[in-house]
Amino acid sequence: MRTLLRDVEVEGERVDVELVDGLVARVGSDLEVGTSPDEVVDAGGGALLPGLHDHHLHLFALAAERSSVRCGPPWVRSPGALAAALLEAGRDAAPGAWLRGTGYHESVAGDLDRHRLDAIVGDRAVRVQHRSGALWMLSSRALELVGDRLPHTPDVERDAAGRPNGRLWRLDTVLRDCAPGPAPSLAGVEEELAACGITGVTDATPDLDEKTTRLLEDAAIDGVLRANVLLLGASRPLRTGRFALGPVKLLLHDHDLPTLDELVDRIRAARAAGRPVAVHVVTRLSLVLTLAALDVVGVVPGDRLEHAAVVPPELRGELARRGLVVVTQPGFLRTRGEAYRTDVDPEDLACLYPYAGLLAEGVQVAASSDAPYGELDPWHVMADAAARTTDEGHVVGPDERVPARTVLASYLSDPASPGGPVRRVAPGAPADLCLLGEPLAAALRAPRRTLVRRTFHATTHATTKED
């Protein structure tokens, strides 16, 4: 297939770009085309960018969220609103079907457990996920259905008599195996990615089992999922070249951190598989533990910190010295900022989700969404990083602001090197591209997803239609 893009802005210049069979073939002024192309697009000076890459999200969780009950802010903010949302969903659900809620925060109705959920939903299997993604809260009926699968570890909270109280930490695989119903479709997720100009993602879900891995493969082979995917949780190469193995995701449970020796062993296991590590780090303690473990094993290219939510100034140079990459989520400051202002220690609040300060120390930083736990829209993330305001207008860490252009550059960096050199629209590059309706400078003055006019994928060429 041959496509000619007339009058696009590429790196500040107005040029034409020819795409042939999934590759950028030519870039130049007033390109002459000997044979009529299959399609000609008059871009009117809109910027043509490499397709954006979200460096940290969760594909199947994002798909499942589309059919889940919203249980937290901004949609639900009170006990009454939570009860109304769950009861309405229960009336629409098939008898015996599980209800799946997402986005819960304690500001709605305090700490949920089996008893508080039973008071709302009665004898129905319900699981509600905390907006952090780390905690599931189950009704008594749901607990009965998974009870024989629950481990005797701190991941299962128990009452004084030793009975599970319905609060389960990081037991997604257990719940996925026990809850009936088909796997969620990725079709809607792909549509949303393309609408944002995203042609690639890093799936940061840890410990992907064989069933989930095969579902991802099938979605790509069937054309349901067109994005390129870097996997942090898979243990084997996939059947399609649009997937690649990234660093091994190491999820540190902050309620039950490993010992130094345990973490060292986990890093060494990744090294034995020939892979770097991507360590989930959200507290000072987990950051210090990770640095200590990496000092024992040694840092290799590709090692990265997911979130790095709290990085005090005295440790930022240590990250740079070790060559660690940080994948951050500035969008959380808007969507969760008000809760942070009341829940986070003031000393930590001052160094929450740093960005400018890390860059100043020489740390390679990339932005991401952590969708569905954060908002997917990368253009909103750019605006959030530049403003660092909560949804009520309070500023969190003004010295950590970075321009939207800096954040965009991180979305344009190579998946294997988040925050590194920007990919280019150049001959030989894959035709994974994002066409905007405006020149780049104008678009960055007010970043928004409606600026995305069209998204191209190398495998299907042009997939997103103009409005």
462 pLDDT above the threshold of 70 = no
My answer on whether 318 and 456 are in the same domain is no
HEC string for 226-290: CCEEEECCCCCCCCCCCEEECCEEEECCCCCCCCHHHHHHHHHHHHHCCCCEEEEECCHHHHHHH
Tokens, residue 12: 């500040």
Tell me which residue range forms the domain holding 156: 68-178
User: In the predicted model, what is the mean pLDDT of residues 102-113?
Assistant: 94
Alpha-helical (H) ranges within 274-375 are: 284-297, 313-322, 332-335, 337-343, 346-349, 356-360
User: In the predicted model, what is the mean pLDDT of residues 69-73?
Assistant: 93
pLDDT digits (tens, 9 = 90+) for 15-61: 999 999 999 999 999 888 777 888 999 999 999 999 999 999 999 99
In the chain, what is the straight-line distance between the N-terminal and C-terminal CA atoms, in Å?
22
My answer on whether 245 and 359 are in the same domain is yes
pLDDT digits (tens, 9 = 90+) for 404-415: 999 999 999 999
Last residue of a domain, one of 152, 178, 204: 178
pLDDT digits (tens, 9 = 90+) for 416-452: 999 999 999 999 999 999 999 999 999 999 999 999 9
> In the prediction, which pLDDT does 124 show?
92
CATH of the domain at 206: 3.20.20.140
Distance CA(16)–CA(7), nearest Å, equals: 5
My answer on whether 220 and 299 are in the same domain is yes
User: In the predicted model, what is the mean pLDDT of residues 82-99?
Assistant: 90
My answer on whether 77 and 142 are in the same domain is yes
Q: How many CB atoms lie within 10 A of CB 2?
A: 16
CATH of the domain at 454: 2.30.40.10
* Beta carbons of 137 and 112 less than 8 angstroms apart: yes
List phi, psi (to 5°) of 423: -65, 155
> In the prediction, which pLDDT does 268 show?
98
Q: Given the structure tokens 């009529």, which residue do they identify? A: 36
How does 257-287 read in b/e, with b if 16+ C-beta sit within 10 Å? ebeeeebbebbeebeeeebbbbbbbbebebb
Tokens, residue 405: 């252009």
My answer on whether 465 and 438 are in the same domain is yes
* Beta carbons of 242 and 265 less than 8 angstroms apart: no
Q: Give DSSP secondary structure letters for 403-448.
A: -HHHHHHHHTB-TTSTTSSBP---TTSBS-EEEESS-HHHHHHS--
Q: Given the structure tokens 């042939």, which residue do they identify? A: 20
Return the DSSP state at 81: H
211-217 contacts, C-beta under 8 A, 24 or more apart = 212/60, 212/176, 212/183, 213/238, 215/60, 215/183, 216/59, 216/243, 217/243
Last residue of a domain, one of 122, 150, 178: 178
* Mean per-residue pLDDT of the chain: 93
My answer on whether 92 and 171 are in the same domain is yes
Select the more confidently predicted residue: 432 or 256: 432
> Which percentage of the chain shows pLDDT scores above 90?
82
Candidate ranges 137-151, 249-263, 420-434; pick with highest mean pLDDT: 420-434
pLDDT bucket at 467, cuts 50 / 70 / 90: very low
Contacts for 445 with CB less than 8 Å, ≥ 6 apart: none
> In the prediction, which pLDDT does 369 show?
98
CATH of the domain at 105: 3.10.310.70
Assign 296 to helix, strand or coil: helix
465 pLDDT above the threshold of 60 = no
> In the prediction, which pLDDT does 191 show?
96
My answer on whether 287 and 402 are in the same domain is yes
User: In the predicted model, what is the mean pLDDT of residues 378-401?
Assistant: 97
* Beta carbons of 348 and 284 less than 8 angstroms apart: yes
pLDDT bucket at 461, cuts 50 / 70 / 90: low
My answer on whether 219 and 358 are in the same domain is yes
My answer on whether 17 and 134 are in the same domain is no
My answer on whether 364 and 431 are in the same domain is no
- With 0-12 / 13-18 / 19 or more C-beta atoms within 10 angstroms meaning exposed / middle / buried, residue 441 is exposed
Distance CA(81)–CA(177), nearest Å, equals: 30
ω into 301 cis (within 30 of 0): no
My answer on whether 172 and 213 are in the same domain is no
> In the prediction, which pLDDT does 173 show?
79
196 pLDDT above the threshold of 60 = yes
Distance CA(389)–CA(446), nearest Å, equals: 15
> In the prediction, which pLDDT does 97 show?
86
* Beta carbons of 289 and 261 less than 8 angstroms apart: no
* Beta carbons of 376 and 65 less than 8 angstroms apart: no
Select the more confidently predicted residue: 181 or 193: 193
My answer on whether 394 and 467 are in the same domain is no
* Beta carbons of 97 and 181 less than 8 angstroms apart: yes
User: In the predicted model, what is the mean pLDDT of residues 123-139?
Assistant: 92
Provide the CB-side half-sphere exposure for 109 (13 A, CA): 22
Counting the structural domains of the chain, the total is 3
